[in-house]
Chains A and B, each alone.
Chain A
Amino acid sequence: MRSTQHVVEIENNPGNGHYSDPPLLVLASLASGPKHGHAMIEDIAGMCGTRLGPGTLYGAIARLEQQGLIEPLPPEDRRQPYRITQAGLRTLGAKLTTLHQFASAGLKRIEAL
């Protein structure tokens, strides 16, 4: 999965622990149900404090859709909701597992200091 790295909001400073892998954040947001763009932004902001910019969000959406990891649902008024696909769920699970292992190993090293 290609990462679209730029994120508009780093409210405090870049080293404050915000996670910025937009495609993964979008997948994680859609894992709790279909959402349109603004709902994803708010959900992601609540989940990890990262507020995606509109260009970054749609860059991630375009690439995820192209990879078949998310798919559009019928539009609601002017808003376009998306949902995660089975392939998207598998990718999300694999990535989060890797991240979990990485985080666990890293935290153990910090504790050992």
Chain B
Amino acid sequence: MNRLAAHLLTSLYPRRWRDRYGAEFAAHLEDGCGGIRAVTDVVRSAIRECISPTQGGNMEQPVYSFGGVVKRPSAFIPIAMSLTAMAVVLARVALVGTGPEVVINGRPDEGTVAHIWQLLMACQLPVLLFFAVTWLRRAPRQTLGVLALQAGAVLAAMAPVLYFNL
């Protein structure tokens, strides 16, 4: 296999893996035949290494627990924002009821609570996106769990709005 192909195939692996095995793996590829089976095998192994990295030992790959991931600000802030939005709506219903919308300067308005709810829900989207992009590669399983929690919190925030038809 030529050097360029070996380098390209090696670059498919995560950085941490390349730091440890990149040079010898590229040399191994260069010395071997580069048939389609070998290329397929390398691509498949690289994908597996990206999804389920070799951890510990010389790899120095940190092990992330679910608790460790959920404690990241980008993980719990969207959940907190959704729960705050839900609390704001429930407080409004408890204090004011599900009455008509506010009229300001003769024009109907959704009211402060609705604006706060919308801001909280909208502002968490970039945080949520940042969390997904950053953590899905590092700890896919734990990240999916946190994303499910975040989705549950979003649904919980939307539930009273839909239920009371606010």
Is A21's CB within 8 Å of the partner chain B? no
Q: Quick check: A63 and B45 within 8 Å, CB to CB?
A: no
Residues on A with beta carbons closer than 8 Å to the beta carbon of B37: 8-9, 53
User: In the complex, which of the residues A41, A58, A65, A75 contacts B45, with contact meaning CB atoms closer than 8 Å?
Assistant: A58
Q: Quick check: A37 and B28 within 8 Å, CB to CB?
A: yes
Closest chain B residue to A79 by CB distance? B27
Cα distance, A39 to B4, chains bound together (Å): 23
Task: Check A8/B38 contact, CB under 8 A, given A66-B56, A68-B57.
Answer: yes
Residues on B with beta carbons closer than 8 Å to the beta carbon of A67: 57
Q: Quick check: A59 and B49 within 8 Å, CB to CB?
A: yes
Residues on A with beta carbons closer than 8 Å to the beta carbon of B59: 62, 66
- Which of B17-25, B80-88, B105-113, B132-140 interfaces with chain A? B17-25
Closest chain B residue to A10 by CB distance? B37
Is A55's CB within 8 Å of the partner chain B? yes
Q: Quick check: B45 and A6 within 8 Å, CB to CB?
A: yes
Is B77's CB within 8 Å of the partner chain A? no
Cα distance, A37 to B31, chains bound together (Å): 10
Is B89's CB within 8 Å of the partner chain A? no
**B contact residues, range:** 20 to 34
- Smallest distance from the beta carbon of A11 to chain B beta carbons, Å? 10
Task: Check A54/B55 contact, CB under 8 A, given A6-B41, A75-B24, A78-B24.
Answer: no
Q: Quick check: A38 and B41 within 8 Å, CB to CB?
A: no
- Smallest distance from the beta carbon of B164 to chain A beta carbons, Å? 52
User: In the complex, which of the residues B23, B46, B55, B56 contacts A55, with contact meaning CB atoms closer than 8 Å?
Assistant: B46
Cα distance, A96 to B33, chains bound together (Å): 31
Closest chain B residue to A78 by CB distance? B27
Is A56's CB within 8 Å of the partner chain B? yes
Q: Quick check: A53 and B58 within 8 Å, CB to CB?
A: no
User: In the complex, which of the residues B20, B32, B38 contacts A38, with contact meaning CB atoms closer than 8 Å?
Assistant: B32
Cα distance, A78 to B37, chains bound together (Å): 24
Residues on A with beta carbons closer than 8 Å to the beta carbon of B57: 65-68
- Tell me the chain B residues, 33-52 only, with Cβ under 8 Å from chain A: 37-38, 40-46, 48-49
Closest chain B residue to A68 by CB distance? B57
Is A91's CB within 8 Å of the partner chain B? no
- Smallest distance from the beta carbon of B161 to chain A beta carbons, Å? 47
- Tell me the chain B residues, 99-124 only, with Cβ under 8 Å from chain A: none
Cα distance, A6 to B25, chains bound together (Å): 18
Besides A54-B28, A79-B31, 5 new A-B residue pairs in contact (Cβ under 8 A), listed by A number: A38-B28, A41-B32, A58-B25, A62-B21, A66-B58
Chain B interfacial positions (CB closer than 8 Å to A): 17, 20-21, 23-25, 27-29, 31-32, 37-38, 40-46, 48-49, 54-59
